[in-house]
Amino acid sequence: MIGDNTDRSWEKLGRQDPYYGVLTDEKFRSSKLDAGARQEFFASGSVHMAELLQRIETTLGPVARGRALDFGCGVGRLAIPLRRDVGFAEVVGVDISESMLHEARRNAQEAGLGQICFVPSDDELSRIDGAFDFVHSFIVLQHIPVVRGEVIVGQLVKRLAPGGVAALQMPFARRSGPLRSLANYTRVHVRPLHMLGNVVQGRPWNEAPMQMNHYDLNRLFVILHECGLARVTVEFMDDGGNIGAYLLLRRPASERSDSATKTADYP
Q: Check residue 12 and give its pLDDT.
A: 87
Q: For residue range 39-83, what is the model confidence (pLDDT) as tens digits?
A: 999 999 999 999 999 999 999 999 999 999 999 999 999 999 999
Mean pLDDT, residues 221-239 = 92
User: What confidence tens digit (pLDDT) does each residue in 124-161 have?
Assistant: 999 999 999 999 999 999 999 999 999 999 999 999 99
**What ranges do the domains of the chain cover?**
6-174+213-250
* Residue 183 confidence (pLDDT) above 80: no
Alpha helices, H only, the chain: 6-16, 18-22, 35-60, 79-84, 98-110, 146-158, 178-189, 191-200, 217-226
Rounded Cα distance, 69 and 104, in Å: 14
pTM above 0.75, yes or no: yes
Average pLDDT, the chain: 86
CATH, domain range 6-174+213-250: 3.40.50.150
